[in-house]
Chains A and B, each alone.
Chain A
């Protein structure tokens, strides 16, 4: 093992993985191009800019990692780049770049995301990450500021809230609150680790403090009616509490809370109630409320085991397929086999993220890494569960693959932070 490590530096291994990823993405694009050219002989080559940026930009990022002496988890970085590549190919397939240079807002997120990745990796690399603990309160205030701004300026569109310019700044709230929680909880590790018979019993003042601080962003998300965000943030909180206390009691508590909240939320919001009902019985209103999920499932059924082939399916029949329901398009075109491979890569990413967290030096870094990885993991699970009807839809995007600039940039920043923490010296 040590021998192999000497031959293959982490950056070298990551480069190897990127080459394999790029080959897979290249095949995907050839397949998509084939169908597109078969349908219409002319196509704007500008659509390929993001894929060019992928082939050119990722090596640049790897060079930067090499120069900065990064020695983190190569598999983690490889997984991030493979998922990004597949995401770009799918978005190319869905026509998200169809307007070419006329719509730079579709082309820019990936290059910006790569920059965010490099910045993230540099911020936390070489065990430098602990200084971020000082920014905990700042992050908390910034998160509240963003939520408040959305409440004041945001415009509702398809159940989500967007700031002018179609930005969805709620994405940045997640890493900001993770940073705050990591800083806050790591200083109170002892208090939150106290258990009796496996049931966590943190001292009252610590608990009250956390509840008070946490209730502010929760109230804001309720005011925003962004239930997906609320569910996600609470899941992250539970994962982080579990990580600090190492007590399964927090997980049990969390599950109970989720069940209670899921039941209770039906009485608060008609929107949530509708999603819940559709989940229970989509066939009650197949052409109305059940239409999207049933079309998504139909797309999957049509894909079968091997898929229709990239570019050869008809995922457009699923409403807003390129963002929340992108997984349905993926499942239709690369089949269940492809989905197994894809989720394997996600699982590897989370697994390596948690392992990197365990290896981190300071409790703060450990918690930060657990929180960030948990955020990506919970997001992935909630999205896939929603599209496959395992759980009600939460309106959460699939990290790195769904359409959406803010989401891609933030996710790559988070991935960069995790990759940096994995390099502990």
Chain B
């Protein structure tokens, strides 16, 4: 008998049966309630406390009226409707529910899509490769990143002027739909960059230098956006942490781009002697040495030093001894001024949306006055810290004639200049130097001839392990279209671990048509 009942309930008749039971129950309840109202009462005595009876009955009636303003007329309260749109996920409240809009990449490919019939369902085709920029939308762990700040648009509760229209739509019991949000990412580059990191802790930023559009924003390791709990709890490899925008790292030699720019702006192009034993900035300070000193020392040999050297060679060979002296020659004022122009201490906003802004963490460029500190900062060591996104931004400034553009993740955000970092002439000289780095210097590994890559390696001393490896570059030399910045935590020498990732990514980006224009590929 139970089986028959089950069949009946799960069959087509099920909902009708339940509806019928609802009506029958209410009918019986009505009969019972009326019978109680009209049941014979005791004979009234001297008093029957009429006022008390009226007060209690009237209070209950008043409460029912107030309840009706929520239960029947709740849609007239915009705050309440907003709340229910976000948090009332009942299947039988479909009129206030919306199908959450998708997140699309720059070509309209799906980055995140709703699951029909499941209010908290979300499909992420890229999975862990894009979880950091996109965030997750989870019934228990909440909403993060782009999903969070674009939530009003995606879930259609950014009502504002549309309150009245919404009230009408709800009254007519029509479910409305959230809007799609189109991002500047290219899902192929995002995936490729994530794959190239091979699970190592690190970050990749790919952007357009002149528009600030972010083509890829990758942090590794990633995690499954549908099951974030393990990632949130993992305090060792901290996958939930977005290294590309939240990670603050010593920039190492990538910082020499800014120091060289400062010097050229000041009209300095000195020749320094760079002895093998290093440069001592003051009494009681350890010498600043070139990396070759340590490489020779490991083999039991003594590094003779670069001898007398100009700026171009120093950049190509990434000479710490030269740049320490150059930084001191520039002086604290010029240095501090450059830090302010590069907005090192400021969080850069890369997405403005109805639900808030997304920013990268502000870096750290301390105000300097002492020679020793200046020497250290000039080689990207000491107290200076920046995010990979910020490194990409100042690299892009070299590629875009000295203009540091505001990074942006949404197609809708207008192109804007964050700050004027270098003059046109300075930028042109820096470009040439960075090209030289790849042609004959530390970045030789990235020399894909047809792409005319310009770049800078970085190897930053980091506590608790090997150095952090950087490579930041752009291409092609003549008309730069793309910037790639790679950071690998404790990756060792920049040219060894970070550079190959950037190189592969540039080749892939070129294949996808982001680097050379069509006429350059097929002249």
Chain A residues in contact with chain B, CB under 8 A? Answer: 1, 4-5, 8, 10, 13, 16-17, 20-21, 23-24, 27-28, 30-31, 34-35, 37-38, 41, 72-75, 78-79, 82, 86, 239, 242-243, 246, 248, 251, 283, 286-287, 291, 294-295, 297-314, 317, 331, 334-348, 350-352, 354-360, 370, 374, 377, 380-381, 384-385, 388-390, 422, 424
28 CB-based A-B contacts, threshold 8 Å: A20-B35, A23-B28, A31-B21, A34-B5, A73-B41, A78-B32, A79-B36, A82-B36, A283-B80, A294-B87, A295-B88, A298-B88, A298-B93, A300-B71, A301-B88, A302-B92, A307-B22, A317-B89, A334-B26, A337-B26, A339-B64, A351-B53, A355-B49, A359-B45, A360-B45, A381-B56, A381-B59, A381-B60
Residues in chain B near residue A302, CB distance under 8 A: 88, 90, 92-93
CB atoms of A27 and B25 under 8 A apart:
yes
State in angstroms the CA–CA spacing of A331 and B38 once bound together. Answer: 25
A309 touches B22 (CB 8 A): yes
Cα separation A187 to B38 with both chains bound (whole Å): 36
Q: Please tell me which stretch of B6-14, B182-190, B258-266, B314-322 contacts chain A, meaning at least 4 of its Cβ atoms lie within 8 angstroms of it.
A: B6-14
Q: Does B19 contact A (CB under 8 A)?
A: yes
The interface residues of chain B lying within 8 Å CB-to-CB of A347 are: 56-57, 60-61
Contact A38 B9 (CB under 8 A): yes
A358 touching B32 in the complex, CB below 8 Å, given contacts A301-B71, A336-B68, A336-B72: no
Q: Which single member of A10, A350, A356 contacts B56 (CB below 8 Å)?
A: A350
Inter-chain pairs besides A27-B28, A344-B37, A355-B48, 20 sampled, C-beta below 8 Å: A4-B40, A16-B35, A20-B31, A21-B32, A75-B39, A78-B35, A78-B36, A82-B36, A297-B80, A298-B88, A307-B22, A307-B26, A309-B21, A312-B18, A317-B90, A341-B30, A343-B60, A345-B33, A351-B53, A355-B53
B36 touches A345 (CB 8 A): yes
Given that A73-B41, A305-B72, A336-B67 are known contacts, is A242 also in contact with B29, CB under 8 Å in the complex?
A: no
In the bound complex, what is the Cα–Cα distance between A422 and B56 (angstroms)? 19
Contact A341 B68 (CB under 8 A): no
Cβ B26 vs Cβ A338 within 8 A: yes
B36 with A75: CB separation less than 8 A: yes
Do A74 and B40 touch across chains, with their CB atoms under 8 A apart?
Answer: yes
Show the binding face of B for A, using Cβ within 8 Å.
2, 5-6, 9-10, 14, 17-19, 21-22, 24-26, 28-33, 35-49, 51-53, 55-57, 59-64, 66-68, 70-72, 74-75, 79-80, 83-84, 87-93, 96
Q: Is the CB of A30 within 8 A of B41?
A: no
- Which residues of the partner chain A approach B83 to less than 8 Å between Cβ atoms? 283, 286, 294, 298
B48 in contact with A359 (CB, 8 Å): yes
**Among candidates B19, B35, B67, B79, residue contacting A309 with C-beta atoms closer than 8 Å:** B19
Nearest 9 CB-CB pairings of A with B: A359-B45, A75-B39, A24-B28, A358-B48, A298-B88, A27-B25, A31-B21, A301-B74, A20-B32
User: By DSSP majority rule, is chain B's interface helix, strand, loop, or mixed?
Assistant: helix
Give chain B nearest CB distance to A170 CB in angstroms: 23
Which B-chain residue is minimally distant from A30 (CB atoms)? B21
Cβ-neighbour of A359 out of B9, B26, B32, B44 (below 8 A) = B44
In the complex, the answer to whether A34 meets B57 with C-beta atoms within 8 Å is no
Selected from B2, B14, B29, B53, the residue in CB contact (under 8 A) with A38 is B14
Q: Which residues of A contact B71 (CB under 8 A)?
A: 300-301, 303-305, 331, 335-336, 339
B67 touches A313 (CB 8 A): no
Residues of chain B with a CB closer than 8 A to A358's CB: 44-49
| Total inter-chain residue pairs, C-beta < 8 Å | 248
Docked pose: A303 CA to B74 CA in angstroms: 11
Q: Is the CB of A34 within 8 A of B48?
A: no
Decide if the interface of chain A is mainly helix, strand, loop or mixed.
Answer: helix
Residues of chain B within 8 A of A348, CB atoms compared? 33, 36-37
Pair A354/B9 contact, Cβ less than 8 Å: no
Q: Please determine whether A377 and B43 come into contact, CB atoms closer than 8 angstroms.
A: no
| Cβ contact of A301, chosen from B5, B39, B93, cutoff 8 A | B93
Q: Are B42 and A355 in contact (CB under 8 A)?
A: yes
Tell me the bound Cα distance from A38 to B6 in angstroms.
Answer: 6
Complex CA distance for A369 and B14, rounded to whole angstroms: 48
| B57 lies within 8 A of A310 (CB) | no
Residues on A with beta carbons closer than 8 Å to the beta carbon of B26: 306-307, 334-335, 337-338, 341
Q: Are A356 and B42 in contact (CB under 8 A)?
A: yes
Per the bound structure, the CA–CA distance linking A28 and B23 in Å amounts to: 10
**Contact A388:B66 (CB < 8 A) given known A341-B30, A354-B48:** yes
- The CA-CA distance from A304 to B96 in the complex, in Å, is 13
* Chain B residues, CB < 8 A from A336: 64, 67-68, 71-72
Alpha-carbon distance between A20 and B25 when the two chains are bound, in angstroms? 11
Decide yes or no: A370 and B52 within 8 Å by CB, A287-B87, A300-B67, A339-B64 being known contacts: yes
Q: Nearest B residue to A9 by beta-carbon distance?
A: B40
Report A-chain residues with C-beta under 8 Å of the C-beta of B53: 350-351, 354-355
Contact partners of A38 in chain B: CB under 8 A: 6, 9-10, 14
CB closest chain-A residue, reference B49: A354
Measured CA separation A20–B43 after assembly (Å): 24
Q: B84 — which chain A residues lie within 8 A by C-beta?
A: 298, 301
Q: With A and B bound together, what is the CA distance between A197 and B59 in angstroms?
A: 27
Q: How far apart sit A233 and B31, CA to CA, in the bound complex (Å)?
A: 35
B181 to chain A, nearest CB (A): 22
User: A313–B42 contact, CB under 8 A?
Assistant: no
Q: Least Cβ distance of A198 to chain B in Å?
A: 13
Given contacts A336-B67, A355-B48, A390-B63, contact A31 B33 (CB under 8 A): no
Nearest CB on A from B49, distance (A): 4
Alpha-carbon gap, A165 to B176, bound state (A) = 50
- Determine which of B9, B40, B56, B67 lies in contact with A331 in the assembled complex, contact meaning CB atoms within 8 Å: B67
* Cα distance, A352 to B44, chains bound together (Å): 10
Docked pose: A339 CA to B33 CA in angstroms: 11
Whole-angstrom distance from the CB of A182 to the nearest CB of chain B?
A: 14
Residues of B within 8 A of A344 (CB): 33, 37
